[in-house]
């Protein structure tokens, strides 16, 4: 946080007069008491967010929930602006969108960036390749103005794809990805979007936060430069970042029914808004699936009887001494015809006891990503 004006406030404190005040309930408190706060936020995501977070150095970007798989918001690139739908992904660090030079099926079915139509575009001859868990892209590095809400990052590095692999990108409800991980994971000698916001003085605090609603149409937001306290209950609990690459933290233990099922001596986990599920080491996930009597389908997915959901135990992640339960209603997903699939999966690569806490976890907990202090803040999201 920047302490602008701190000395002036100290000097003025000597002449302050204390006046007793009667506390008046805020709109947030009144709505919460009547169990109307969640409904209000979902119906008025723009007006509410800007009322509480208005002012220079702060912006709020609404996002849409697509089938609980990912959350998508709109940005624009270039002059005049060309609009794109992107995932705001804390598990990646780079920004990229499809380009007019890409002929992959994924590009044909999405909006593409035309550098010829932007007066502020700067070309390079640097080829790039970005790899993800289920997809990849190759392309060229360029620079242009990137707009997120009211913020404009000047000469921002971004990728223009000329080839996009995998059917997942072809049928995705988004065009590209905007990474929010640490610069260590960014393309060499480039500055990620969030770092550009801070370096260019566009935001008042060096942090961003996510509220991920289960509502499919609206309610979800990512906020840059400040925290909206109306989106969570209680106090934020702060967790140190253990490795500054991903937003990675140390988990004390993982338990069910009061018994430790994994990480008896601690393990590592990533807070990842680009992942929909809770993902863990193969043996750990299989042990949990066996404990809830999950059965394997012909497609390799795991299902349980929908009748058992109310009796299944929470999966409790204890992080920095605080318990964060994930109930069965979150880690089991109801589908049509009475079939219930688990929202648990195994890590698709060999790793050392690493967990990925995706949107199944993050829907439950409002999350602050504090770069100034290299920490993550967690609090129960409003229900």
Per-residue pLDDT tens over the stretch 124-136? 999 999 988 778 8
Q: Contact 151/169 with Cβ under 8 angstroms?
A: no
374 falls within a domain:
yes
Flag whether 29 is in a domain. no
**Residue 44 CB neighbour total at 10 angstroms:** 14
Asked if 356 and 270 count as a contact pair (C-beta separation under 8 A), the reply is yes
Are 248 and 214 members of one domain? no
Tell me how far apart the alpha carbons of residues 3 and 92 are, in angstroms, rounded to a whole number.
Answer: 30
CB neighbours of 141 closer than 8 A, spacing ≥ 6? 124, 126, 127, 128, 157, 158, 159, 160, 187, 190
Cis peptide before 80 (omega within 30 of 0): yes
What pLDDT score was predicted for residue 217? Answer: 59
What gap in Å lies between CA 205 and CA 99, rounded to an integer?
A: 33
Domain boundary among 169, 200, 226: 226
C-alpha to C-alpha distances, 41 to 51, 90, 169, 364, nearest whole angstrom:
12, 24, 31, 16
Tens digits of residue pLDDT in 192-222? 999 999 999 999 999 999 999 887 656 899 9
- Is there a single domain that holds both residue 177 and residue 77? yes
* 177 and 273 assigned to the same domain: no
Both 304 and 352 in one domain: the answer is yes
8 located within any domain:
no
Regions of the chain with pLDDT less than 50: 1-38, 40-55
Q: 65 with 211: CB under 8 angstroms?
A: no
- Three-state SS letters, the chain: CCCCCHHHHHHHHHHCCCCCCCCCCCHHHHHHHCCCHHHHHHHCHHHHHHHHCCCCCCEEEEEEEECCCEEEEEEEECCCCEEEEEEEECCCCCEEEEECCCCCHHHHCCCCECHHHCCCCEEEEEEEEEECCCCEEEEEEEEEEEEECCEEEEEEEEEEEEEECCHHHHCCCCCEEEECCCHHHCCCCCCCHHHHHHHCCCCCCCEEEEECCCCCCCCEEEEECCCCHHHECCCCEEEECCEECCEEEEEEEEEECCEEEECCCCEEEEECCCCCCEEECHHHHHHHHHHCCCEECCCCCEEEEHHHHHHCCCEEEEECCEEEEECHHHHEEECHHHEEEECEEECCCCCCCEEEECHHHHCCEEEEEECCCCEEEEEEECC
The pair of structure tokens assigned to 46 is 């723009």
- pLDDT for 241 equals 98
Residue 20 lies in a domain: no
Same domain, 218 and 236: no
272 in active site: yes
Neighbours of 245 (CB within 10 A): 14
**Which domain CATH number covers 107?**
2.40.70.10
Per-residue pLDDT, 170: 85
Count of beta carbons in the 10 Å neighbourhood of residue 301: 14
pLDDT for res 360: 94
- Neighbouring C-beta atoms of residue 372, cutoff 10 Å: 11
**Residue in the structure block whose two tokens are 């976890």:** 361
Backbone angles phi, psi at 44, to 5 degrees: -130, 60
pLDDT at 35: 47
Per-residue model confidence (pLDDT) at position 21: 26
- Residues 111, 70 share a domain: yes
* Assigned domain for 194 exists: yes
Examine residue 51 and state whether it is found in any structural domain, yes or no.
no
Residue 350 confidence (pLDDT): 57
Can you tell me which residue has the tokens 């140190």?
240
326 touches 363 (CB < 8 A):
no
Do 86 and 160 lie in a common domain?
yes
Q: Which domain holds residue 220?
A: 63-226
Residues 250 and 135 in one domain: no
The answer to whether 144 is a known catalytic residue is no
- In this structure, the answer to whether residues 144 and 268 fall within a common structural domain is no
Q: Which of 89, 144, 175, 262 is catalytic?
A: 89
Q: Which residues is 59 bridged to in the sheet?
A: 224
- Examine the domain organization and report whether 73 and 199 are in the same domain: yes
Which domain-ending residue is among 194, 226, 258?
226
> Which of 226, 258, 285 is the endpoint of a domain?
226
Residue 25, burial from CB neighbour count under 10 angstroms (0-12, 13-18, 19+): exposed
Residue at 10 is within a domain: no
* Whether residue 204 is found in the same domain as residue 258: no
Find the catalytic residue in 262, 272, 345, 370: 272
The token pair at 344 is 């648990």
Q: How many domains are there within the chain? A: 2
């Amino acid at each position: 946080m920047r302490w602008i004006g701190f000395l002036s406030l100290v000097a003025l404190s000597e002449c302050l007069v204390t006046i007793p005040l009667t506390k008046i309930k805020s709109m947030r408190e009144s709505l919460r008491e009547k169990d109307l706060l969640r409904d209000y936020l979902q119906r008025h995501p723009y007006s509410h967010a800007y009322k509480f977070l208005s002012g220079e150095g702060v912006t709020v970007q609404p996002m849409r929930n697509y089938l609980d798989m990912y959350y998508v918001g709109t940005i624009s690139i270039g002059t005049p602006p060309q609009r794109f739908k992107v995932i705001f992904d804390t598990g990646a660090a780079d920004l990229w969108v499809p380009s007019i030079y890409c002929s992959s099926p994924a590009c044909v079915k999405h909006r593409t960036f035309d550098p010829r139509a932007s007066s502020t575009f700067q070309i390079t001859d640097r080829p790039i390749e970005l790899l993800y868990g289920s997809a990849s892209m190759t392309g060229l590095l360029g620079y242009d103005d990137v707009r997120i809400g009211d913020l404009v990052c000047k000469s921002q590095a971004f990728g223009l794809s000329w080839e996009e692999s995998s059917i997942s990108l072809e049928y995705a409800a988004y065009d590209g990805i905007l990474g929010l991980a640490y610069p260590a994971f960014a393309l060499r000698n480039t500055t990620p979007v969030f770092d550009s916001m801070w370096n260019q003085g566009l935001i008042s605090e060096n942090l961003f936060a996510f509220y991920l609603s289960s509502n499919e149409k609206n309610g979800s937001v990512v906020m840059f430069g400040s925290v909206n306290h109306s989106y969570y209950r209680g106090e934020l609990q702060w967790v140190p970042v253990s490795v500054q690459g991903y937003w990675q933290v140390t988990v004390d233990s993982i338990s069910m029914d009061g018994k430790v099922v994994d990480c008896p001596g601690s393990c590592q986990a990533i807070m990842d808004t680009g992942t929909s599920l809770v993902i863990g080491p193969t043996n750990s996930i299989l042990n949990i699936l066996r404990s809830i009597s999950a059965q394997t389908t012909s497609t390799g997915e795991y299902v349980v009887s929908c009748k058992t959901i109310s009796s299944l135990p929470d999966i409790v992640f204890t992080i920095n001494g605080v318990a964060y339960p994930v109930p069965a209603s979150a880690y089991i997903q109801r589908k049509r015809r009475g079939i219930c699939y688990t929202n648990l999966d195994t890590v698709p690569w060999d790793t050392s006891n690493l967990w990925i806490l995706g949107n199944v976890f993050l829907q439950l907990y409002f999350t602050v990503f504090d770069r100034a202090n290299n920490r993550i803040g967690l609090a129960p999201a409003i229900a």
